[in-house]
Amino acid sequence: MAFALFSGLVSFALYFLLQTLKGSVVEDTFPEIMQPSFFSTIYIYIHMSFVLNTAYFIINYDYLFFSEIRKNSWYLLVHMNYNPAMMFFAKFFALVYSVLWTYSVGFAFVVLLTAFLRYTFVVAYIPSLYFAGIIDLFLISLITMMISLYSGTVTYARYMIFSSAAFIPALKQISGFYKILANRVTMQNVMNLFDSGRSVFVPFAVFFIILSFLACSVRARSTARYFSSQEDDMPLPEDVSLLRINLKTGRLEPAVKGRKEAGINKTLNMTVSVLLIILICALLMFNLLVILINATTPGSEVAILGAIPYIFRSETMKPEIMPNDLAYFKKVDADYDIDKGQIIIFRQDNTIFVERVIDDMEDYLVVDIDYYPSVHQTGSMRKTIKRELVIGVFTGRNRWLGALILFANTIFGRVLFLFIPAVLLFYHRQLRGLYMRSRRTRQKVSS
């Protein structure tokens, strides 16, 4: 129940956070998550539920899935005439029930919270959104079950779960399923999800879920009868060699291979640690860039490698420069040759302006904006400025960086890009040690 309510609250908070990006490229590219409707809040929830459940599966992998077979937890039970197939079904349905319960409660909670916003409630697309989310969760659950039965180590398994979770959205994009999911009209008929003419994702997912279930039941029943030693260094007679079952291949192999797998795990962990440090440093550098861009004020324009980055807040230069775009201007001096038709940034009366040059009169430039709202007469903003006021010439823009900087200026963005990376950078070893001690404690309690 707590996990379900947490998923709903996180999704609802993310919806309000995204509202701060209105007018940016995010709203143009993903209008389905920015609309004032139940559709947007639920659409965000089904994706956040998938992400949070995947994280929950990875963290609690040993407890939730079938790695316990590899730890011989079923061996004695099988020899005491417990049916491994029945044990598999019991654990499978317990997991399915848990996933279905938390998802449904969180789904209902998001609907309840959205009702307080007094949006128009459209019943037609609610079942489609519900089934779209539950199919994703069932799919990742069955994939994780298969991984737990075939993977030799916990480390491998967690990397494979993460890779599978990343592959599912990619498959939905390639198969065109997101075009169905993001369309409020199409989603008003739940059968459109299963229409293979529109997308093969749901038929494929259903087929794979059934196939995975059958494969897991057979594998669990056969693997549960094996006993694998956890000690590679136990004393053995000279004429005896220790073998183990490789859960990935099903073959017998020397037990010393476990040491090689441990070495590979160490390499993978080191690689992940290096990538994490690179990511942390990149986030900190990005936050520094945001601070520099925000420091661009009249009289103190920041130039980076000869370019002035500037967050454009107005609609006056649509469509060449959209609101909240990050525009780049080449820094120029008074002798720079400015041509008619170029967009310039200049400072006048202690105010920054971005306008287009429409005429050149030696020491003076005639400038005007590109877009006039309907309440203003075209040409009413035209003016003549001195050439020496020009500080830069427009060279390009980046809409996504603009949206990212807009997000970074929110409270949550500051925490994500500055506070969290700083804590991880300086205390990641201590946090890892704390996690490992907590994990060992849980293992002792469970044993």
pLDDT (tens digit per residue) in 76-96: 776 677 777 777 788 888 888
Q: Alpha helix (H) ranges present in 308-385?
A: none
Top-ranked range on mean pLDDT: pick from 41-45, 88-92, 405-409: 41-45
The pLDDT of residue 230: 47
**Contacts by 152-158 with C-beta closer than 8 Å and gap 24+?**
152/70, 152/246, 152/247, 152/248, 152/261, 153/261, 153/265, 154/61, 154/62, 154/67, 155/265, 155/268, 155/269, 156/265, 157/61, 157/67, 158/58, 158/61
State the CB neighbour count (10 A cutoff) for residue 252: 10
% of the chain residues with pLDDT over 90: 32
In CATH, what is the architecture of 307-408?
Answer: Ribbon (2.10)
17 contact partners, CB below 8 Å, separation of at least 6: 407, 410, 412
Instruction: Band the pLDDT of 232: cuts 50, 70, 90.
Output: very low
The pLDDT of residue 369: 92
pLDDT (tens digit per residue) in 50-83: 999 999 998 888 778 776 666 666 667 766 777 7
The pLDDT of residue 336: 85
Alpha-carbon separation of residue 54 from 13, 57, 93, 316, 339 (angstroms): 20, 5, 18, 44, 55
Pairing of strands 364-368, 351-361: antiparallel
% of the chain residues with pLDDT over 70: 78
Q: Are 234 and 242 in contact (CB under 8 A)?
A: yes
Residues in the chain: 447
Which sequence spans correspond to the domains of the chain?
2-231, 256-294+414-447, 307-408
pLDDT (tens digit per residue) in 177-190: 999 999 989 999 99
Alpha-carbon separation of residue 77 from 12, 94, 222, 230, 232 (angstroms): 45, 19, 13, 18, 24
Residue 414 has pLDDT above 60, yes or no: yes
334 contact partners, CB below 8 Å, separation of at least 6: 387, 388, 390
The pLDDT of residue 9: 93
Which residue, chain included where needed, has tokens 């998802």? 103
Looking at this protein, which amino acid is placed at residue 324? N
Average of pLDDT values for 7-36? 89
Q: Are 265 and 155 in contact (CB under 8 A)?
A: yes
Pairing of strands 364-368, 325-331: unpaired
Cross-strand bridge partners of residue 304: 307
Which residue, chain included where needed, has tokens 């990511």? 279
Q: Which of 346, 263, 340 is CA-nearest to residue 310? A: 346
The pLDDT of residue 44: 95
pLDDT (tens digit per residue) in 159-168: 889 999 999 9
Structure tokens at 420: 């969290």
pTM above 0.85, yes or no: no
**What is the longest distance spanned by two Cα atoms in the chain?**
99
d(CA 162, CA 58): 8
Instruction: Band the pLDDT of 278: cuts 50, 70, 90.
Output: confident
Q: Is-cis flag, bond preceding 309, omega within 30?
A: no
Pairing of strands 325-331, 343-348: unpaired
DSSP string, 236-284: --TT---EEE-TTT--EEETTHHHHHHHHHHHHHHHHHHHHHHHHHHHH
Residue 110 has pLDDT above 60, yes or no: yes
Residue 378 has pLDDT above 90, yes or no: no
Residue 268 has pLDDT above 80, yes or no: no
